[in-house]
Structure 1
């Protein structure tokens, strides 16, 4: 598969991090990070030496110019980026490890990316020299137009025989335009070769069966059974798809985590080694890092098990990095696999 560029498509967001106590008001300072799920993937791939291109929409102003410079410094090909509209999407997330209770606030309505419409992007031109297209379920969650732009991209990708990966990122605070994920995602999933998510997201977004008794307790054998069940259901429902990956991430103690993943392909479920740790720093972007690791492995035509272990270790390392994108090198990821080997 590794013949051309990997193109990631999605919204560039700035993550703004007020602390929980309002200290930022005294200091007149707000930490922020450059993010967006697909940009996190593109950044990781570029860092790991995979030819990585990124497509988003940004307004024409000096902030965008600085961001484009930042992306180029990270060796990301920005040629396809659309300049239009008035604003860059933002989201607010209090500092700390637990995103689930933190209450993310989105401020992305009317952004340059949200204003994309079908016919704006010349996909034939954009896909020149591209062998892999990656997007996530966050894109069609924004509005109907962006969902239609995704459909348009997938049609051209299929015509050009480009490998397509989809991350079933579920964001409850999006999907506000009158469609449930289940009404939009299956059509898009039909065009994908690799689908990554977890058993709950596959149920919510693709209508795959969820057997409560298998996931009620955090019992590994039952979860692995369910991973097989979900993967086989996806492959049956979406014949183009040949690879399904699932992540399992559970809180461990007050601030720790337990993490393992699966990859199903050619009738076999591969299971990663398990990572258990008492203290982590930042959950944001860990799944994106896992996705990038899968792309890295398959791009280099590594076998499924090697690919899975690399992706899992990459995602695990991301839990200790205070930013949206990873800064961990290939060598460090390979050391981590060895250090935690069971």
Structure 2
């Protein structure tokens, strides 16, 4: 997919450690290591689709980090914006091989190079030169109060430089541990955004939109789509700058069974993808990020509403069959 736009993505680079056994210790099974982080996952997909993309993070200067950054470069991601600093690379442990059983996540991100970033340390105007789009996620302001202030700084610069701004409302309850709830932080940040992706539950938690508490896996598809349209309408009312919204519905009944569908909304209408169902999931991790990447790509190509819904959903669904956090460029 060719485009004149250049996307800048900001977030923490992570390593994922996972094992087929749910007990790492006293297990003779090998532990797999994959590069990850929601924002890096989006960058990896866009790069493989031929969309100019730069990735900005802060990482330690060591051979392990160099290997990961080199891999991103192989996927056509510009990593020249990434900062090298003292600290460590953030980790997360997935207590299953692929998120198909319990999929419980344990984070080890404190005192990483990225978490040590402070407001005033990045020349945002310089970093944003040559870019037309800025993408961030709700994971970064969940890390600390100064990370939230760093996001505010970046978003103000993005608006001043006339970049389109997108956000993924990733909700990670275990990360919001510094005394503030998402609803106290996220609306002020999302107010800068042109493009919002998430789901009806994340929007309720982070933006204060209403939700029917009975809605879930066994709610009819038509009712889920109605709930998504209602949620989107509320978001448009709350955030006048927002022009595009996408939402996902992902349900897992059994380890390899997944239902996956999505919606797209603009101020003129509501659109939805078909429901995709599979009994052969390989790896659920990163499917939402692949959806986000597909959403950005479809918007950059000026696709129509129905095409946007289908393209983003297809990208997310295809990721279910790819090992690791990054997609493999299929759509």
TM-score, structure 2 as length reference = 0.95
Q: Counterpart in 2 of 1:207?
A: 208
Q: Counterpart in 1 of 2:239?
A: 238
Identify, as 1 or 2, the structure richer in helix.
1
Q: Counterpart in 2 of 1:339?
A: none
Partners of 1:182 and 1:99 lie apart in 2 by 30
Instruction: Report the Cα offset of residue 13 of structure 1.
Output: 0.4
Q: Which runs of 5+ in 2 are unaligned?
A: none
**Is the Cα contact below 8 Å between 1:252 and 1:276 reproduced in 2?**
no
Partners of 1:253 and 1:170 lie apart in 2 by 22
* Residues 1:106 and 2:102 are matched in the alignment: no
Instruction: Report the Cα offset of residue 254 of structure 1.
Output: 5.3
**Is the Cα contact below 8 Å between 2:247 and 2:263 reproduced in 1?**
yes
Q: Counterpart in 2 of 1:81?
A: 82
**Is the Cα contact below 8 Å between 1:87 and 1:111 reproduced in 2?**
yes
Q: Counterpart in 1 of 2:177?
A: 176
The secondary structure found in structure 1 opposite 2:126 is helix
Q: Counterpart in 2 of 1:289?
A: 290
Partners of 1:112 and 1:312 lie apart in 2 by 33
The secondary structure found in structure 1 opposite 2:192 is coil
Closer, same or farther: CA 266–19 of 1 in aligned 2, 3 Å: same
Deviations 1:91-150 (A, max 9, x none): 000234546833211111000000010011110011011111111100100001111111
Partners of 1:257 and 1:41 lie apart in 2 by 21
**Is the Cα contact below 8 Å between 1:192 and 1:241 reproduced in 2?**
yes
Instruction: Report the Cα offset of residue 266 of structure 1.
Output: 2.5
* Residues 1:55 and 2:56 are matched in the alignment: yes
The secondary structure found in structure 1 opposite 2:77 is coil
Q: Counterpart in 2 of 1:143?
A: 144
Q: Counterpart in 1 of 2:154?
A: 153
Instruction: Report the Cα offset of residue 74 of structure 1.
Output: 1.6
Partners of 1:217 and 1:300 lie apart in 2 by 35
Instruction: Report the Cα offset of residue 306 of structure 1.
Output: 1.2
Partners of 2:102 and 2:31 lie apart in 1 by 20
The secondary structure found in structure 2 opposite 1:31 is strand
* Residues 1:222 and 2:229 are matched in the alignment: no
Superposed CA RMSD in Å reads: 1.9
Q: Counterpart in 2 of 1:15?
A: 16
Partners of 1:220 and 1:28 lie apart in 2 by 40
**Is the Cα contact below 8 Å between 1:252 and 1:277 reproduced in 2?**
no
Closer, same or farther: CA 28–217 of 1 in aligned 2, 3 Å: closer
**How is 1:314-333 mapped onto 2 (pairs within 5 angstroms)?**
314-329=315-330, 333=331
Aligned residues: 330
The secondary structure found in structure 2 opposite 1:102 is coil
Partners of 2:63 and 2:214 lie apart in 1 by 54
**Is the Cα contact below 8 Å between 1:8 and 1:42 reproduced in 2?**
yes
Partners of 1:103 and 1:66 lie apart in 2 by 27
Instruction: Report the Cα offset of residue 25 of structure 1.
Output: 5.1
Partners of 1:245 and 1:321 lie apart in 2 by 23
Instruction: Report the Cα offset of residue 304 of structure 1.
Output: 2.1
Q: Counterpart in 2 of 1:262?
A: 263
